[in-house]
Amino acid sequence: MTIQAVLFDKDGTLIDFNATYAPAFAAIVRELAGAEAADTLASAVGFDLQTNAFAPGSVAIAGSSLDIAQALAPVLGRASPGELAVELDARFDVHVLASIAPFAQAGPALAQLRASGLRLGVATNDAEAAARSHVAAIGLAQYFDFYAGYDSGHGAKPQPGMVAAFARHCSLPPAAVAMVGDSTHDMAAGRTAGALTIAVTTGPAGTAELAPLADHVIADLGELPGLIAGLG
Nearest to 98 by CA among 61, 133, 51, 63: 133
Distances in Å between the alpha carbon of 63 and those of 105, 107, 117?
Answer: 25, 25, 32
How far apart, in whole angstroms, are the C-alpha atoms of residue 117 and residue 140?
16
**First and final C-alpha spacing in the chain:** 8
Task: Give yes or no for residue 4 having a pLDDT over 90.
Answer: yes
Q: To which H or E segment does residue 70 belong?
A: helix 65-76
User: In this structure, are residues 76 and 33 in contact, taking their beta carbons and an 8 Å threshold?
Assistant: yes
User: Could you give the domains of the chain?
Assistant: 5-16+102-231 (3.40.50.1000), 17-99 (no CATH)
pLDDT of 102 above 90: yes
CB 50 within 8 A of CB 145: no
pLDDT score of 35: 67
Q: Which pLDDT value is given to residue 63?
A: 87
- Across residues 144-168, what is the average pLDDT? 97
Q: Give tens-digit pLDDT for 11-30.
A: 999 999 999 999 999 999 99
Is the pLDDT at 199 greater than 90? The verdict is yes
